[in-house]
Each structure stands twice: as structure tokens, then as C-alpha cells.
Chain A
Amino acid sequence: MKYESQGVAKLYFVAAIALFIGQILFGVTMGLQYVVGDFLFPEIPFNVARMVHTNLLIVWLLFGFMGSAYFLVPEEAERELYSPMLAKIMFWIFLVAGALTILGYLLVPYARLAELTMNDLLPTMGREFLEQPTITKIGIVIVALAFIFNIGMTVLSGRKTVINLVLLTGLVGLAVFFLFAFYNPDNLVLDKYFWWFVVHLWVEGVWELIMASLLAYVLIKVTGVDREVIEKWLYIIIAMALISGLVGTGHHFFWIGTPDYWQWLGSIFSALEPIPFFMMTLFAFNVVNKRRRDHPNKAAVLWALGTAVMAFLGAGVWGFLHTLAPVNFYTHGTQITAAHGHMAFYGAYVMVVLTMISYSMPLMRGQKAANETAQKLEIRSFWIMTLSMVAITLLLTGAGVMQVYLQRYSSEPLPFMVVQDKLAVFYWLRELAGLAFLYGLFMYVYSFFAKGKAVEDVA
């Protein structure tokens, strides 16, 4: 760690991991509700558990992105963070606001929460992933602006590297597109159309900029490959991400009452969306093969390569599976979507944050890399979590294919709930895979506390 202020990242990462545990606990709860329908009913109905599961994911990834930026930006800019104090204050505000929101979901009925937070003044609640009370959304905007101000001042008054500028662009985009969360017209088609300006333009747009820049940073650090080479890759990857992803938004406009031309535009452009992820895989393996040093942090290198591969599989391949309009006609809103969602989020965003944590945490704890035992455990947890997620994805895909056939494709389509009963075996196995993931996560957390022999720096 070159600059003392990079250390604020640790707070953010600890919170991120804690919320990650919460997310997975609610995940396995929902998984069980899929087969034991009355589990925790009516205390924690499925919709509440799901809201907690998805919102915790979003919040902990945001903590992860912010922590990553606080760690990476000073080093790239070659100066201390503009204001470490502001970063700490915003951390606590965000954490308290996030915790209160989650408690609100769990302790009072959602309609009551809407009343308590005066949703009627500016109704924004009750839309998927944007369930937060309006007041929380305003809080998110304030935290995001303070964060971008802090990072922006650091970047602009320091050395301007491509990584820093791309990261900053991604973060500004994240804040700007979130503003569409405040637009909630009565017209459902309009509502849905612009809802995607948050959701799609985040995960298939500006978040890819953040992801690619974080990955590029870690790869420079662990391989020692020339910055010029890495920056060229970075530009071309994010160029492809936006060229395919912007009009690719159209793959969400097939069946919501929007014009027919989206069938063509959405299909063609979103079919290109795997390209940037494929390039990321090529890029990661290429630079690791050309490495000029063997970094003692083997775990971080594994996470970086894993991110590239799993993002390509989850976001790229599983996205492509159902992105063409004639296919999506049958698969839209089935377990196929759930399968894709799980592997894409894990492969792209969870893993890139864990890559950053893996690389930076030892440095913030005064080591070059975690000790041998800790790394061994971390690597094992990488495989357990990743393979569990592969299993979850395959099982949900199996469930989805059957669901599509029985409910939508066969000559005598069956009702939704009848079909769900027939899928129980897939859901039970998915639950087991979920528990395995949780076990991997506990091992991951434990690896931070494991004692062992310090690693040799062979660089």
C-alpha cells in the first residue's frame, strides 16, 4: 500500500463481505421456499426474502465498488485521497441507511413501510430491484455524489491514467442512470421502458466499465505486464461493451408493448454482448501468460482469471442462450432468466469485487499476500463457490427448459403452479448447491483469520 488513505477501503470491504453473507442466507431461505412453500410464512414471505436477497446484493456490490475505487484511485493518481474523512462519513451513512432499509423490509409490512416513508409524495417503491423507500434512494444519490466528488477530485488533481478515467466514467454513469429510478409514470409501458435505463444500463453498460477497469488494475499489479498493452485492451473491451450494450437494451423491449423493431435491434445488438466478455477472457489469460513476475498472491490471480471466465459464461453465453427474440418469446420470465441472472452477477460483479478484495486486503494488513494456509483456504473457497454457482445455474436451466416446454411449448400447456410442482427435484438440488455455496462463503471468510507460514516474494 503506497498511500495511507487507501486504507479506508478496508471498512468498505468488511461491510461488503458481511452483507454478502446476509444475501446468501436469504438466498438459501428463498431456495427452500421454492419447495417448502410455507417455510417462514407468513413472517417472511417470499417477496420479502427476495427483496432482501437482491437489495443486499446491490448494496454490497456498491460497497465493493466504492472500496475498490478508494484503494485503486490514490495509487493510480499518485496522491492521497482528496478526503479520507468524507469517505469514512459516507461509509457510515450508507451502512446505517442500508441497514435501516433492510430492517424496514423485515419488520413491517411493505405497504406500511411505504406509508411510513411517505412514498405518496414521490412514489418510487415496489419496482423490481428499486424497492427502496424514496428517502433511501435520495440517500443513495447523496452518498454517490459525495463519493464521486471525492474520487473525482483525487483523479483530476493527480496522474490521469486510463484505468482511473474509465473507472470514473463508469461511476459517474452509475450515478446518472440511477436517477431514472425516480421516474415512475402511471403508464406501465413507459415505466418499464425507463426502468431498464437503470437496470440494463447499469449491469450491461456502465458497470462493465467499472469491472473492466478493476480487472485491468489487478492484472497490471499481479503480472507486471506493460501498462500500454493493458490499456489498449481495456479501451477495446469497453468500446465493445457499449457498442453492443447500449442498443442491446432492446432485448428487454420485446414483450412490454414497445414497437416491433426492437425484436430485430434487440436481438442483433444483444447477440454481440458476449464479445466484450470473450475479449476479457482472452485479455486475462493473455496477460497472465505474458507475466513478468510471479506474484506471491496466487489467490488474487485465480480470482482475476475466474472473473473473466465466469463473466463470459454467465453474462455472455447464458445471456446469448435466450436473447434472440424467437427464443425469448418462450423463455421470457422463466427459470432460464433466473439461471442467467445468478451466474452473470456472480461471474461478473461478485467475482471482480472479490478479486479486488483478494489483492488489496493483504496489502492493507501489512503483507504482500496472505499466508500459505489462508491462500489455500481462499483458493478452495473459490472453487466451492464457483462450482456451486455452476451447479445452481445448470439446475435452474434444467428447470427452465422443462418449464418452457410444459407451460408454454407443448400442445397442452399446463398452469404455472402445476408445472412448478413438477420441477421440485431441480429446486431441491439447487437448494443443496446453495448450501454448498454458503459453506464455501464461510470458508472464504475464515481464510482471513487463518494463521500460517508467510509467503515468499519470488518476484
Chain B
Amino acid sequence: MRETFTKGMARNIYYGGAVFFFLVLIGLTVDTVRSLPKTDNSQNLTEQVASGKRLWEVNNCIGCHTLLGEGAYFAPELGNVYTRFGESTDAIKAFIKYRPVEGVEGRRSMPQFNLTDEQLEDLAQFLKYVDGIKTARDWPPNVQG
């Protein structure tokens, strides 16, 4: 690098740039959090949905599936599974409930989590709530996720 560009100048760009853009990120975060109620489907965030989210977490569903595109890529996207399953929470519950304990020979299979009927309902309600989140351009691109 040229001699006219000194270390001091480089240092100032670092400190100035870091502080400035960190503040920008904070500002945008405040604005994002304020405008979330328009899209985040929080009006449907019931106790049941909250306990469904906990079940989603403690069974490590994200270890195979994506949810709004984030997670593992081993099993289908579930952010729109409610739509894909014909807007039926019963279909979702039945799918989870009847997974074979020993799996399917030679194929990927979801484990049997032995959830109670109440837990199945909570989880299905959580997935329904996620489907109601208004994502930009209505992501995912189509019903297959």
C-alpha cells in the first residue's frame, strides 16, 4: 500500500466504520422490532403455540428440518407444512404420531417421539402459527417448501 495511506488512517477507518455501522444496525433493529407486529402473526401467539414452540425445541426438530429456511437440510421445510398438509392440523398430528419406531428400511425416517395427544396438538398449533407469519414475497416459492 502507498505511503500516503498511513496506519493511523487505516485505524480511524476501522474504529469509525465499526462504530458507525454498529449504530446503524442498532437503529435498524429498533425499527424492525417496532414494525414486527404487522407481519409476525403475534396475534395468534397463544399459550398453546408457546408450548408447541418449546416442544419443537426440546425434540431438536431443527436438527433435520428447516423452519423458514433455517435449520438442517435433511428433511422438508416446515414453515409452510400447514398449507402443504391441506390446512389440517389433524394431518400434521397423524404424521408425527405414526412414525415407525424402527424407521423405514434403507430410507430416511422421522423418529418416534412418543408425544401425548395434548403435545401433538400444541406442536401442530405452533406449526400453524408459523405458517401465518407474513414472509416477504410469501416465501417459500411454492407449496413444496
**B141 adjacent to A257 (CB under 8 Å):** no
Assembly CA distance A114 to B56 (angstroms): 12
Question: How many A residues face the partner with a CB closer than 8 A?
Answer: 79
**A46 adjacent to B63 (CB under 8 Å):** yes
Assembly CA distance A254 to B68 (angstroms): 10
Cross-interface CB contact of A253 among B32, B49, B105, cutoff 8 Å: B32
**A126 adjacent to B108 (CB under 8 Å):** no
Measured CB to CB, the closest approach of chain B to A77, in angstroms, equals: 19
Assembly CA distance A38 to B69 (angstroms): 24
CB interface residues, B 49-66, toward A, < 8 Å: 49-50, 53-54, 56-64, 66
Size bin of chain B's contact surface: 35 or more
Assembly CA distance A45 to B113 (angstroms): 12
Measured CB to CB, the closest approach of chain A to B104, in angstroms, equals: 7
Measured CB to CB, the closest approach of chain B to A175, in angstroms, equals: 16
CB interface residues, B 26-75, toward A, < 8 Å: 28-29, 31-33, 35-36, 39-42, 45, 49-50, 53-54, 56-64, 66-75
User: Nearest residue in B to A396 (C-beta to C-beta)?
Assistant: B73
The stretch that binds B, out of A6-14, A309-317, A407-415, is: A407-415
Q: List 8 extra interface pairs beyond A232-B5, A335-B73, CB under 8 A.
A: A38-B103, A42-B101, A126-B61, A127-B62, A188-B40, A265-B28, A333-B66, A416-B145
| A-B contacts, 7 listed (Cβ < 8 Å) | A37-B104, A126-B56, A232-B1, A239-B13, A249-B25, A257-B135, A416-B76
Chain B: residues with CB nearer than 8 A to chain A? 1, 5-7, 10-11, 13-14, 17-18, 21-22, 24-25, 28-29, 31-33, 35-36, 39-42, 45, 49-50, 53-54, 56-64, 66-77, 101-109, 111-113, 129-130, 133-137, 139-145
Chain A: residues with CB nearer than 8 A to chain B? 30, 33-34, 36-38, 41-42, 45-48, 50-51, 110-111, 114-115, 119, 123, 125-128, 131, 162, 184, 186-190, 192-193, 228-229, 231-233, 235-236, 238-240, 242-243, 246-247, 249-250, 252-260, 262-263, 265, 329-330, 332-335, 337-338, 407-409, 413-417, 420
